[in-house]
Structure 1
């Protein structure tokens, strides 16, 4: 009997872990399964549990792609349906996770009314109050079709958590608010420093889930808005987001993932690494473009310790890259390595979308040569 009980416990634990390991959309994460006609009044959802797998609160609308709002035609990025959150409205879903592990959430959002629309994304567990991140402003749109995907990171403090997306805005029209679609979850495996690279995740291969049917990448908000960065090892140390790219939709210099610096000096990433004062180090990286019509004279600025370098890259907007490096002498036990773009740049497809240089394959090693020597 004892052996049977132990076996049952082990099977349940294995089953729970197996359930939590799938990366991708949450159950009905793209809202393709909607309310029954009796649970709706026009586009307004009347019942808290009318949308399968979700619980709603407040003024929530179920929107079909092509729905007209005045002169505006609402387009859904993936599938045929999305939800719109009015004033103080929210949607939430409880999901199984692995306690103590690191996760990222990806979701798509679009404005429908005001320029100052905002969102709050929260994680909570049964025995503790909701853990809020700072408000995520979505007034700056980076894609040409009005939709952007965002990522957030969190450490699971229980075996199941509740993911909540909330519109804290107060507009004159209570129905005004952002559209939400394609909510996904990914288990992250933060890489460690190795003898081949003193930086963590220097090739950016570990990062948030990239929605397969979208072509605009994933925005990683600034560190001031996200305590746990969904880009392990790196801090988004700026006022605006950086963009996480995949090789399925863009050109990246190396591997399957890269980072696009999309907002000039307001879009920067950094990492603090342990160094030995007096030793000389070599920082190497690749600079390129994402094959997304980002043309012109792009410049990446790299900083390490007291040294910096400007790397120009003449982009034709069709993909490509070049190597760059910076040699420096460490002056402290902790050295901040940072990258940003010198200029604001827009794509030449007349969409007005912000773009910038792509960086990838960032490596930091102890140099065998002194600064100034080839």
Structure 2
């Protein structure tokens, strides 16, 4: 579905919800253990008599318990390892009125440092007919855990969907009994439908609407390549390559509570395609570029594409959270879609070897002339006309 901008001489009543809330997953962090297990066992093979509360399973699945003497380290005390043909399932039911987007986030890890060094661990996450494979990356996190996000779809009260997480066979050559993927800390966040605010023709230009952050995690959330912005975990933005979704609690965010950090890739970035109004032909794109205060030192190059034009912006980062505001003026062809893309090619690493890059935030698109307009759920409303009608009434 494409957003087409048309000025309409009518009153458009728009109820747009951009709040978010946590939906309910039973035992999302596996801290409620299976019944009748040896609580001192660090690795426990599940059987039909020892299923995990809230979850069903098939294939080979282990329940893991972290301890001071074990090589496995969990952010909480427990996690699940999916072995050969291993999969876990849970049915979610909509509890909120209205229609909500649901975004899953979860931790993916290797069992120990040896597996992490030569890991091909991967899981397939599926909901209804939507699925995505997540591979444990390298140099993307400061510990063995990496947090990922997945768009589950939209539903409301009374709807039910089945969430399944399955192991993907490893080709690492290691003993398959030890280096299968480990998962933990599942969270489902529900987001309202996209909302446009006066003064910005882009929805979610501040990146506040995305997956849920863990309060005890300082690694952000990795968003993998997703060309379709309608099923992207970052609402209304396509994802190019891999980017990191960061929060203001653990990173330097130029504005608000969230931003995106572009990592190395070919390329790494975000994109939105818009059909811009025929009444305006000149536009101004404003954005903030900075660093995340994550010891990322180096020369950043951010490419900004507006239609067929490409601009580049450079900054020398000392890794301490600096930021600056930039603008691009461009003209659009009203007969075709205009691509707005931010991306980076160069590879930069923090002092600990973790991939990092330029931070992008507060992206604003405005027409340079014409009536003041505001966009509400894809429909442009002439503010002056609305005010006039209100006065008449």
Q: TM-score range by the shorter chain?
A: 0.7 to 0.9
Q: 1:346 to 1:170 in 2, by over 3 A?
A: closer
What residue is the counterpart of 1:106 in the other structure?
105
What residue is the counterpart of 1:120 in the other structure?
124
217-226 or 183-192: bigger deviation: 217-226
Whether the 8 Å CA contact 1:133–1:225 is kept in 2: the answer is: no
Does structure 1 residue 94 correspond to structure 2 residue 91? yes
The counterpart of 1:321, out of the listed 303, 320, 323, is 323
Whether the 8 Å CA contact 1:104–1:154 is kept in 2: the answer is: yes
Whether the 8 Å CA contact 1:39–1:50 is kept in 2: the answer is: no
What residue is the counterpart of 2:380 in the other structure?
none
* Distance (whole Å) between structure 2 residues aligned to residue 206 and residue 115 of structure 1: 32
Q: Aligned Cα RMSD in Å? A: 2.5
Whether the 8 Å CA contact 1:152–1:226 is kept in 2: the answer is: no
Report the Cα offset of residue 342 of structure 1. 3.6
* Distance (whole Å) between structure 2 residues aligned to residue 225 and residue 281 of structure 1: 24
The counterpart of 2:292, out of the listed 283, 290, 293, is 290
- 5+ residue gaps, structure 2, are 1-19, 371-393
The counterpart of 1:215, out of the listed 191, 213, 218, is 218
Q: 1:193 to 1:225 in 2, by over 3 A?
A: closer
Report the Cα offset of residue 25 of structure 1. 6.9
115-124 or 46-55: bigger deviation: 46-55
Report the Cα offset of residue 162 of structure 1. 1.6
Report the Cα offset of residue 68 of structure 1. 6.7
207-216 or 258-267: bigger deviation: 258-267
What residue is the counterpart of 1:85 in the other structure?
82
Does structure 1 residue 205 correspond to structure 2 residue 208? yes
* Distance (whole Å) between structure 1 residues aligned to residue 217 and residue 362 of structure 2: 24
* Distance (whole Å) between structure 2 residues aligned to residue 221 and residue 354 of structure 1: 14
* Distance (whole Å) between structure 2 residues aligned to residue 181 and residue 354 of structure 1: 23
* Distance (whole Å) between structure 2 residues aligned to residue 204 and residue 190 of structure 1: 14
Count of residue pairs brought into register by the alignment:
335
Report the Cα offset of residue 111 of structure 1. 2.4
Alpha-carbon displacement from aligned partner over 1:92-120 (angstroms, at most 9, x marks no partner): 11122257421100000012335222211
Report the Cα offset of residue 297 of structure 1. 1.3
What residue is the counterpart of 1:190 in the other structure?
193
Whether the 8 Å CA contact 1:118–1:138 is kept in 2: the answer is: yes
Report the Cα offset of residue 292 of structure 1. 0.8
What residue is the counterpart of 1:133 in the other structure?
131
* Distance (whole Å) between structure 2 residues aligned to residue 60 and residue 297 of structure 1: 45
139-148 or 54-63: bigger deviation: 139-148
* Distance (whole Å) between structure 1 residues aligned to residue 235 and residue 47 of structure 2: 40
Does structure 1 residue 275 correspond to structure 2 residue 276? yes
213-222 or 325-334: bigger deviation: 325-334
* Distance (whole Å) between structure 1 residues aligned to residue 295 and residue 170 of structure 2: 37
- What's the TM-score, normalizing by structure 1? 0.82
What residue is the counterpart of 2:4 in the other structure?
none
Q: 1:207 to 1:34 in 2, by over 3 A?
A: same
What residue is the counterpart of 1:45 in the other structure?
46
* Distance (whole Å) between structure 2 residues aligned to residue 186 and residue 81 of structure 1: 22
Alpha-carbon displacement from aligned partner over 1:164-223 (angstroms, at most 9, x marks no partner): 111121565245311111000000123333441111100001111111110000111111
What residue is the counterpart of 1:28 in the other structure?
27
* Distance (whole Å) between structure 2 residues aligned to residue 259 and residue 296 of structure 1: 18
* Distance (whole Å) between structure 2 residues aligned to residue 206 and residue 223 of structure 1: 16
SS in 2 for 1:135: strand
Alpha-carbon displacement from aligned partner over 1:312-368 (angstroms, at most 9, x marks no partner): 1221111121001111111243111000124111001x3x21100100000111124
What residue is the counterpart of 1:345 in the other structure?
348
Report the Cα offset of residue 56 of structure 1. 1.6
Report the Cα offset of residue 139 of structure 1. 3.6
Q: 1:24 to 1:181 in 2, by over 3 A?
A: farther
> Using CA pairs below 8 Å that are at least 6 residues apart, which structure has the higher relative contact order?
2
* Distance (whole Å) between structure 2 residues aligned to residue 307 and residue 202 of structure 1: 20
SS in 1 for 2:310: strand
What residue is the counterpart of 1:54 in the other structure?
55
* Distance (whole Å) between structure 2 residues aligned to residue 65 and residue 184 of structure 1: 21
- 5+ residue gaps, structure 1, are 1-20, 125-130, 370-374
Report the Cα offset of residue 225 of structure 1. 9.2
* Distance (whole Å) between structure 1 residues aligned to residue 66 and residue 228 of structure 2: 30
What residue is the counterpart of 2:13 in the other structure?
none
